[in-house]
Amino acid sequence: MQNEIETTLIIDAVKQIGKQFLDNYKKKEIPKTKDAFLTQLEEIETTCFNFLKPLINQHYPHIPWVADDEFDPTAQLQPADYEQYWLCDTMDGAVQYIQHLPGWTINLVLIRNGQPYFSVIYDPICDEVFSARQSAGAYLNGSRIKTGVKADTDVMVAVFEYGHQAKNTSNFEQKIASSVAHLIKTFGVVRNYGPHALQLAHVGAGRIDLFLQEDLDTHNWLAGMLIAQEAGAELLTSDGQPWMWGTENLLVARKEIAALYLAS
């Protein structure tokens, strides 16, 4: 195992491909058919992988890459069977990119011993890089970040997310309705800002106070979870238990804010 990685090199690579996508942003026609839509999605994934993998493999040829299949629930229930591996969300928020909307990022996470070890999220439109390494803190454009310190729920911002894959629970609609109602009753503002991992990074930066999702979406979470956790947030299930890989929901917030939500 390579115990150390050159984080600056990885961050620079992610920024480079992000800027390439920014250069081509809004230049393609918004697709009008499903086939055209899927073609653009495939082009985004191919372009990103064809750039990142050879560049990073020059320095870390023995670290494998694992496909980010967010539509396969089984693949997200446990880590891949490698000591360490790269998991790349080629574009979190690709739908927004294709639709000429903001809210898309390039995410890369190194999983080591079954846990996120290093992650980077690049938001090209804002030119913001969120990064974190296990037990070494979280950063935004090189400056240390911490979760927010609000005490008044009337001025807190909560976000609610959902995944696109098939749902595993029969009471999913009821669970969604109940959770959204709970958020609205508890917090002054409830929103959704698109990319899952970026919203989790915003929890780490104090821009969002609580993140909640009631369905399995592990691969979309991992890069942002590490950043939020290293910035001081707790990773919990939606009923307040410690989050574990394979849990089909996620609640992320500073400890005191999570407690306010769970007790309300």
Domains of the chain: 7-144 (3.30.540.10), 153-263 (3.40.190.80)
In this predicted structure, the answer to whether residue 2 has a pLDDT above a threshold of 60 is: no
pLDDT of residue 204: 98
pLDDT of residue 126: 98
User: Do 126 and 182 form a contact (C-beta atoms < 8 A)?
Assistant: no
pLDDT in tens, 231-263: 999 999 999 999 999 999 999 999 999 999 999
154 is in an annotated binding site: no
What percentage of the chain carries pLDDT values higher than 90? 85
127 is in an annotated binding site: no
In this predicted structure, the answer to whether residue 131 has a pLDDT above a threshold of 60 is: yes
**Cross-strand bridge partners of residue 253:** 210, 234
Q: What is the model's pTM?
A: 0.94
Long-range contact list for 39-45, CB < 8 A, 24+ apart? 40/98, 41/94, 41/98, 44/90, 44/91, 44/94, 44/97, 44/98, 45/90, 45/91
Confidence class for position 168, pLDDT limits 50, 70, 90: low
Averaged pLDDT score across all residues of the chain: 93
| Beta-carbon count within 10 A of 170 CB | 8
